[in-house]
Homo-oligomer: A and B are copies of this chain.
Amino acid sequence: MVSLKDVARKAKVAVSTASLALNNKSRVSPATRRRVAEAARALDYYPHSIARSLKNRRTQTVGFLMGGFGGPVYAEMVQSVHDTLAKHGLDMIVCFAPAFGRLTHGRMLDGAVVLDAPTPNRLLEQVAARDMPMVVMDREFRCPNLRSVLLDNQGGSRAMVAHLLARGLRDLAYVGGPKDSYDSRRRRDGFFAALSEAGLEPTAEVVTDFTEQGGRDAVRGLLAGGARPRALFCANDETAVGALQALAESGLAVPDDVAVTGFDDIELARYTTPRLTTVRVPRVAWGAAAAEALVESLAGRTTPARRTIGVELVLRESSGAPAGEGR
């Protein structure tokens, strides 16, 4: 391990001078600067990030707290967060709940992006109180050092309901997600609000866990119970995929007997039979916006405490939209 001291010795200057020279800081004579640079190169010197961080009180690293990359929704978004941070010279460390406290409290991180519903507000408040800027993507939260970058889930649900109603469908069933998820709750809010504004009530409501399996089971149960909605509004695509399977088993035609819609626009949505009408969540833009917000906070600039990312309806055959649309 070659340190600045070694470089200084080789260049026959004091460590401080070597430091200044390498960091282009104060005025150092061109001659010494060159000697130092040369010595550094000769020794293959590389600054020790940890030592530097200790001194600067900045690690150039931000954490991304999430529940797991498992789902098809996250990958692109995480990538986007990473890339955006990288553009600003920041590294990203992926962390799950167990490590989060240690990482933040230990000041291993300069800041964090959070997308993990189970994490309690209290923990976020604690971390924020220790003066660590954060951006949350899965809840509204008013607190110093904390900003929210959220999806317009309600808007998406409303648009979807409007689409279904416009197609003349009236008996809509809601196949929902976990109540501990912000996105899930807001999607539900939008659905119910839109429906009641139209003077309607849902035919049925079931709750699932946002998985394909969960969707299949829920819809099987629904059908077994004798319900015959004209449309299933599923709160995410994976659930909708399960719903399609359950309907196929029962010999019900989609969309002629029952229309099905999802939410997220995962890749799979273009491959189901029929292809799935859904709400596109702009994952790249979402992640980038979150990262940018954090960068601003780190720079000490003031930014809106809350930002909303728009979503977009994607019409395909599962809701009876004309074939060929929605690629």
Task: Spell out A's residues near B (CB within 8 Å).
Answer: 1, 46-54, 59, 61, 68-70, 72, 74-76, 78-79, 82, 86, 91-96, 98-99, 102-103, 105-108, 241, 267-268, 271-273
* Whole-angstrom CA separation of A74 from B92 in the bound complex: 17
Q: Which residue of B lies closest to A101 (CB)?
A: B46
Point out the residues of chain B lying under 8 angstroms from A49, CB to CB.
Answer: 102-103, 106-108
Point out the residues of chain B lying under 8 angstroms from A46, CB to CB.
Answer: 105-106
Point out the residues of chain B lying under 8 angstroms from A72, CB to CB.
Answer: 72, 75, 267
* Whole-angstrom CA separation of A86 from B76 in the bound complex: 23
Partner among B50, B74, B78, B106 whose Cβ is within 8 Å of the Cβ of A47: B106
Point out the residues of chain B lying under 8 angstroms from A107, CB to CB.
Answer: 1, 48-50
* Whole-angstrom CA separation of A49 from B94 in the bound complex: 17
Q: A61-B108, A82-B94, A93-B93 are in contact. List 17 more A-B contacts (CB 8 A).
A: A46-B105, A46-B106, A48-B107, A49-B103, A49-B108, A50-B53, A50-B54, A50-B108, A70-B75, A72-B75, A74-B75, A82-B96, A91-B93, A91-B103, A91-B108, A241-B271, A271-B271
* Whole-angstrom CA separation of A86 from B100 in the bound complex: 12
* Whole-angstrom CA separation of A61 from B106 in the bound complex: 13
> Closest Cβ of chain B: how far from A15's Cβ, in Å?
16
Find out whether the CB atom of A70 lies under 8 angstroms from the CB atom of B59: no
Point out the residues of chain B lying under 8 angstroms from A76, CB to CB.
Answer: 69-70
